[in-house]
Amino acid sequence: MIMNIWIQRSILLLLLVCSTFGQGFKMRSDGKETFYFKDELNRNQASFLSEASFESFRGISNDVWGYVSFDPEDIKGTLDGEISLSVNSIKTGIDGRDKNLQSVSWLNSEKYPLIVFRIAKVETITPVDDYTLKLSILGEFSLHGKTKLIYAKTTIKYLKESEMTKLRADGNLIDVKTEFDIKLSDFGISHIMIGKRVSDIIKVSATLFGSNVKADS
């Protein structure tokens, strides 16, 4: 009887510990931290891929900024943040195509200069190792004056400050990789070339580097 009670308590304790660590990084924290994505070396990058019937091309921007905040022990319950990029910073390798992309017929950068992703909720979280997590994030994606909910597959790696990380930047650091799909038609973008030279479904990805030490503006 005593042995059974001890086993039951041990299992409950193990489940509690696993549940706690399953919500965040396997570490002890001092509470919520804010990480800033503003890198003078342009290591932050967002890109999109269009694969249409007659043409495929990629757009890339290094003008990406924003922040995320979370308690490292409880990512699922505390994660929030916002990432932005400027439409005019997107380069596709052809100047004429870039100007078309910025025009009223497409993204209309004069009226809607920014693309923004805001974190709404962490749907699922899967530990990879003590300092790396895979997340499914529900976010508000704003483009062309419209905002839609999308799911983003995201990986966050946490790097505690050390002599090695200081060679990159001061403070605790994070590396973030994320990807998701959007439909241009969902954002009120319609054009005769969609489906032919531009795909309605656009694959979006980003690689971001952040520090909890805010860089000087």
pTM: 0.86
CATH number at residue 143: 2.40.128.110
Region 41-60: what's the mean pLDDT?
Answer: 94
Examine residue 79 and state whether it is found in any structural domain, yes or no.
yes
Examine residue 216 and state whether it is found in any structural domain, yes or no.
no
- In the block, which residue shows the tokens 């900024």? 65
> Is residue 17 over pLDDT 50?
no
pLDDT value at residue 70: 97
Residues 160-204 pLDDT 10s:
999 999 998 999 999 999 999 999 999 999 999 999 999 999 999
Question: Of 85, 95, 101, which is closest to residue 194 (Cα–Cα)?
Answer: 101
130 contact partners, CB below 8 Å, separation of at least 6: 25, 26, 27
Exposure string for 119-133, b = 16+ CB within 10 A, e = fewer: beebeebebeeebeb
Examine residue 72 and state whether it is found in any structural domain, yes or no.
yes
Exposure string for 55-86, b = 16+ CB within 10 A, e = fewer: eebebebbebebbbebbbbbbbebbebbbbbe
Residues 86-145 pLDDT 10s:
999 999 999 999 999 999 999 999 999 999 999 999 999 999 999 999 999 999 999 999
pLDDT value at residue 20: 44
Encoded tokens for 103? 């025009």
* Share of residues in the chain with pLDDT > 70 (%): 89
Region 28-35: what's the mean pLDDT?
Answer: 90
pLDDT value at residue 175: 97
- pLDDT band, very low/low/confident/very high, at 11 (cuts 50, 70, 90): very low
pLDDT value at residue 15: 41
Count of domains forming the chain: 1
Tell me how far apart the alpha carbons of residues 163 and 8 are, in angstroms, rounded to a whole number.
Answer: 44
Provide the residue range defining the domain that includes 122. Answer: 2-211
Ramachandran angles phi, psi of 105, nearest 5°: -70, -20
**Residue 204 CB neighbours (<10 A):** 20
Examine residue 78 and state whether it is found in any structural domain, yes or no.
yes
Examine residue 22 and state whether it is found in any structural domain, yes or no.
yes
- pLDDT band, very low/low/confident/very high, at 12 (cuts 50, 70, 90): very low
Examine residue 217 and state whether it is found in any structural domain, yes or no.
no
Question: What is the residue-averaged pLDDT of the chain?
Answer: 90
Examine residue 104 and state whether it is found in any structural domain, yes or no.
yes
pLDDT value at residue 4: 56
Region 10-39: what's the mean pLDDT?
Answer: 69
- In the block, which residue shows the tokens 């060679």? 167
pLDDT value at residue 41: 77
pLDDT value at residue 71: 96
pLDDT value at residue 5: 53
